[in-house]
Amino acid sequence: MIYCVIPEALADELFDKLTAYYAGDANVTVIIERRKRSRREPGKPPAGGEVRFVRDRRRPRIVGELPATPPGEL
């Protein structure tokens, strides 16, 4: 499913045009953005009291050196 999100300020001029444009494509839904603010406010703890951790998700490097390969063997 693909959502074509239109800002509320542009909804009057774009919603009907984009709905007609994507009418033949069942995978696209045109919607109007109605949120007034972000749900995540800086400095505010997350809902449910859960503590969030920022982690480096990359794998640690392997210790050591790679063996030398003769040219042309890759």
pLDDT of 7: 94
- What percent of the chain stands above pLDDT 90? 45
| In the predicted structure, residue 37 carries a pLDDT above the cut 70 | yes
Q: Where are the domains of the chain?
A: 1-34
What is the overall mean pLDDT for the chain?
Answer: 84
Q: Are 31 and 4 in contact (CB under 8 A)?
A: yes
Secondary-structure percent of the chain, ordered helix, strand, coil, rounded to 5:
25, 15, 60
Contact 3, 31 (CB under 8 A): yes
DSSP letter at 54 equals: -
pTM confidence score: 0.51
With cut-offs at 50, 70 and 90, classify the pLDDT of residue 2: very high
Q: How confident is the model at residue 14 (pLDDT cuts 50, 70, 90)?
A: very high
pLDDT of residue 50: 67
Query: 17: which DSSP letter?
Result: H
